[in-house]
Structure 1
Amino acid sequence: MRRATGFAAVAAIVATAGLLTGCAPSIAADRPLVVVTTNILGDVVGELVGDEAEVLVLMPPGADPHSFEISAQTAARLRDAELIVANGIGLEEGLAGHVESAEADGVPVFLAGDHLEVLAYAEGDAEGTPDPHFWTDPARMVDVVTALGEELPAELADSDSASVDVDRIAANTEAYLAELDELDREMTATFTAIPEARRALVTNHHVFGYLADRFGFRIIGAVIPSGTTLAAPSASDLRELVAAIDEAGVPTIFAESSQSDRLVQVLAEGADRDVDVVELVTESLTPPGGDAETYLDMMRVNTARIATGLST
C-alpha cells in the first residue's frame, strides 16, 4: 500500500518545464549568420563552418529542447539568417512556429529529419509517431552532416557578406565525418562487449530508440512513457515499469542531465532489487568545462556510462 501511495504522489510531481529565454549575442556584420535551434546541432554546425560564419545557437547548454522558448527579440534574428538548421522531427515544440514563420518569409531552412531514415517510437504514449532523437545513432548523424556539408556552402556562398571559403567548409566536413566514423567504431566495440542479455535500457523518457536500433539494445521502458518530457506518468505506469525492471533484472536506470532525477530515484527505490541510477547527457550539451560540451564528448560519455552501468 505504501508503494502505491508513493507512486501516486510522485506521478503528480512531474514538472511543467520552466520556460527559458534565449538571448541573441551580437553578430559580426562581415560574416553570414547561421541560426541553429539545438545546442547539439549547433556544435556540429560550428565544427563545419569554422570561422566562415557566425553560428547563433538558440538553446543554451542544459536546456530542455521540448520546453525551450525564445524572446521576441531573438525570434526576430531568425530573419537575418542565411540558413536556419533545425531538428525537424517535432523536437523543438516551442521553436517550431518561429522557424516556420521565418521560412515563410524566405529564410532557407535545413531540417535534419529530411536527410535520414526516421524511426517511429516503438512504445509508450507516442507509439507510432516519428522519433526526433536521431543523434543517439552516429551513423544517422553522418547522414545529416553529409547533407549539411552540401547545404552550408551553397547558402553561405550566396550571402551578401564577405566572401566565404567553401573549400574550408568542405575540408571541415570531411574531417568531422572521419571523427564520426571513429566514434561509430568505438561505440560498436564497446556495446558489442556487453552481453546481449544485459543490453536493456530504462531511461527518463523515450530517447534511445535510434541507439537501440543501431546497437542491438532492448528498451524496457521509460519513467515518462512518452517521447517528450512534457508528458506525465501515472501511478500505474510507474508500477508497471517497476515490474518490468524486476522481471528483466535491469541493474541500472539512466536519468537525464537536463531533467530532475527525482522520479527515477523513486522508481529505483521501488524495485525489489538493488538498482543504480546513472546520469546521461541526452538532449542538451553541458556548459564549457563539463563532461559533454561537444556532441562527440556527449556520445563517448554516454557510451562509457551505459557500458559500465549494464556490465556491473
Structure 2
Amino acid sequence: MTARRPGGRGRALAGLLVAAALALAGCTATTDDRPRVVVSTNVLGDVVGELVGDQAEVMTLMKPDADPHSFQVSAQEAARLRSSDLVVSNGLGLEEGLQRHLDAAAADGVRTFVAGDVVEVLDHATGDAAGTPDPHLWTDPARMLDVVDALQPVLAGLDGVDPEQLAARTAAYRGRLEALDAEMVAAFAAIPADRRALVTNHHVFGYLAQRFDFRVVGAVVPSGTTLAAPSSSDLADLVTAVREAGVPVVFAESSSPDRLARALAREAGVQVRVVELYTESLTAADGGAPTYLDMMRANTERIADGLSS
C-alpha cells in the first residue's frame, strides 16, 4: 500500500509548525548576555541607568513611591542580586529591610559599590539618631557628583561595557548635575535668612542644609528613619521650636503619611502649611519625580516657594 503524500494544505501546515517550533526554540535559547547591575534604591538606579545606558541590564529593587528604610524583595529578586555582576547600594544604614541580602551577595563574592563609602558623610546632629551616619546623601547634588565620579571606573570594569561610551555618558550627566546645583543655589538665594529653616517628617535634609545654608529646626519623627515614631514629648518640643523659629511650612515626605505633620501644624497654634516633597523615593513615570533630576527640581521649587511666601 502506497502512503499518501501530504497535499499543499498539509505541507503548509507542517511548515508553519516547524517554523513556530524553531522560533520558540530561538526565544528559549536567547539570553541577555549584558552584565547585570542590581541597584538597591530607585534614586541610585536612575543614576546608574543614565551612566551605563543599554550596555548593562540595570535591575532596580526599590519600586517607585516606596520607602528605602522598609522595602522588601522577593526570593527571586534576592537570588538575582546574589548572581549579579555588580550590586550598587546607598549604605549608611538606609536599606534596613534589604541589608541581609546585600551582605549575603557580598559574602558570595559579588562585586559591590556603596555610595556612602565615597562621599563625605555627615552625622545626624539632633534627634534619636544624633551621632549616627546620615544616609540621605542624595539631597546634595555635589555629593552625587562624587558618587558618579567613583562609580564610572567600577562600571567601566564590567565585561561588555565600552569605557569610551560610558565616559561620554558620564560627562553629559555630570553637566546636568552641575546645572542642577547652580539652579538650586539661585533658587535658595532668594529665601530670606530668617526663613531658611526646615521642619520635615524625619531627619532627611542634613546634607541639603549644609550645602545650601539652611537650619534644620527639627523633624516630626525625631529620627533618621521613617520606621521610628515620635513621643508626645517629642511633639511638644518640636511645637516649641516651630513657634520660636516662626516656620511657615512643614515639609512632608511623599512616601510617608503626613498625618503627623498635619497634627504638628494644628498643635503649633500658628499658621503652618504642610507641603509634600519627594525626598526618599522617585515616583512612577506619571508622577512628579520620575528621575533624580526631576525630584530635586520639584523639591527646590517647593522649598523656595514655601519659605519665601
Please indicate, yes or no, whether the TM-score normalized by the shorter chain is above 0.5: yes
Cα distance in 2 between the residues matched to 1:164 and 1:80: 18
Counterparts of 2:222 and 2:161 in 1: how far apart (Å)?
Answer: 46
Other-structure match for 1:214: 211
Is 1:229 the counterpart of 2:226 in the alignment? yes
**Does the residue aligned with 1:124 lie in a helix, a strand or coil?**
coil
Return the alpha-carbon distance in structure 1 between the equivalents of residues 257 and 243 of structure 2: 23
Counterpart of 2:237 (choices 237, 240, 265) is 240
What residue in structure 2 maps to residue 69 of structure 1?
Answer: 72
Could you tell me which amino acid in structure 2 is paired with residue 91 of structure 1? Answer: L
Partner of 1:113: 116
Match in the other structure for 2:259: 262
Structure 2, gaps ≥5 residues long: 1-29
- Work out the CA distance in 1 between the residues paired with 2:50 and 2:269: 46
Of the three residues 27, 31, 36, the one matched with 1:33 is 36
Of 280, 291, 299, the match for 2:288: 291
- Separation in structure 2 between the aligned mates of residue 149 and residue 166 of structure 1, nearest angstrom: 9
Larger Rg: 2
- Give 1:30 deviation, angstroms: 2.0
Quote the offset at 1:46 in angstroms: 0.4
Moved over 4 A (4+): none
Q: Normalising by the residue count of structure 1, what TM-score does the alignment of the two structures yield? A: 0.88
Cα distance in 2 between the residues matched to 1:53 and 1:71: 22
In the alignment, the residues of structure 1 paired with residue 84 and residue 152 of structure 2 have an alpha-carbon distance, to the nearest angstrom, of: 17
Q: Does residue 1:45 correspond to 2:48, yes or no? A: yes
Contact 1:252/1:277 (CA < 8 Å) preserved in 2? yes
After superposing the two structures, state which structure 1 stretch, 27-36 or 126-135, moved more: 27-36
Given residue 270 of structure 1, which amino acid in structure 2 is its aligned partner?
A: E
Aligned to 1:189: 186
Give the superposition deviation at 1:281: 0.2
The alignment's TM-score, normalised by the length of structure 2, stands at 0.89
2:26 alignment counterpart: none
Matched, 1:274 2:271: yes
Using the TM superposition, give the Cα deviation of residue 80 of structure 1 relative to its aligned residue in structure 2, in angstroms: 2.2
**Contact 2:187 2:304 survives alignment (8 Å):** yes
Task: Tell me how many residue pairs correspond in the alignment.
Answer: 280
Distance in 2 between residues matched to 1:130 and 1:47, nearest whole Å: 27
Fraction of identical pairs, as percent:
66
Q: What's the CA shift for 1:181?
A: 0.4
Asked whether the 8 Å contact 2:249–2:273 carries over to 1, the reply is yes
Partners of 2:293 and 2:43 in 1: CA distance: 10
Report the 3-state secondary structure (helix = DSSP H, G, I; strand = E; otherwise coil) of the residue aligned with 2:284: coil
Change in Cα spacing, 1:166 to 1:220, as seen in structure 2 (3 Å) is same
Distance, in Å, in 2 between the alignment partners of 1:309 and 1:296 is 20
Which consecutive residues of structure 1, in runs of 5 or more, have no partner in the other structure?
1-26, 158-162
Higher-RCO chain (CA-CA 8 Å, sequence separation at least 6) = 1
Q: In structure 2, how many angstroms separate the alpha carbons of the residues matched to 1:182 and 1:279?
A: 24
- 1:287-309 residue CA offsets vs partner (Å, 9 max, x unmatched): 11211000000000000000000
Of the three residues 74, 81, 88, the one matched with 2:91 is 88
In structure 1, how many angstroms separate the alpha carbons of the residues matched to 2:287 and 2:72?
24
- Cα 1:258–1:28 change in 2 (3 A) is farther
Q: Quote the residue 1:151 is aligned against.
A: 154
Q: Who is 1:79 aligned against?
A: 82
Letter in 1 for 2:304: A
SS of 1:146's equivalent in the other structure is helix
Give the CA deviation at 1:28. Answer: 5.3
What RMSD in Å do the two structures reach over aligned CA positions? 1.0
**Alignment-derived partner of residue 137 in structure 1:** 140
